[in-house]
Structures are given as structure tokens and as C-alpha cells.
Amino acid sequence: MDLPTLRGLFTLILMIAFVAIVVWAWSSKRRKEFDEAARLPLEDGPLADSGGAGCKTATGAGEKQS
């Protein structure tokens, strides 16, 4: 096989994979799961611990708090 044939086959495989992903994403079987996932940011729930690492303080990153 020569290089243009391999490129064509690779393009065909990627196109089939793309179509399969689109069909999976727009499947009516998945609609309920995706609707629930879309509402997650809007739902009230327990807040994350605000005292975790990575929070910057008013004293700066390298200074000690007293």
C-alpha cells in the first residue's frame, strides 16, 4: 500500500468514528442522562471546603499568618 491509500483509509476510519460519536451523543437512550448532567451546575448541594489548599490569603503566598 502506498501513502495516499493509507491516508485515505485513516480519514475514512476517523469519519466513521466521528459519525458513531454523533449518533451516540444524540441517541434518545442517552437523553435522560445528559439532561441530568446538564442540570448539575444549577442544583444546590454541599459546598466544597473553603479552607483547602490553593486558596490565596490576604497576607500573600509566602508570608506566615500570626
Q: How many domains does the chain have?
A: 1
- Has residue 58 been placed in a domain? no
- Name the one residue in this structure whose C-alpha cell is 444524540: 26
The answer to whether 59 and 66 have CB atoms below 8 angstroms apart is no
Q: Does residue 11 have a pLDDT over 90?
A: yes
Q: What is the mean pLDDT of residues 4-22?
A: 97
- Has residue 64 been placed in a domain? no
Mapping DSSP to helix (H, G, I), strand (E, B) and coil, where does residue 14 land? helix
**Closest to 11 in 3D by CA, of 19, 25, 24, 27:** 19
- Has residue 32 been placed in a domain? yes
- Has residue 54 been placed in a domain? no
Domain that holds residue 17: 3-38
Give tens-digit pLDDT for 28-64: 888 888 889 989 998 887 665 555 555 555 555 555 6
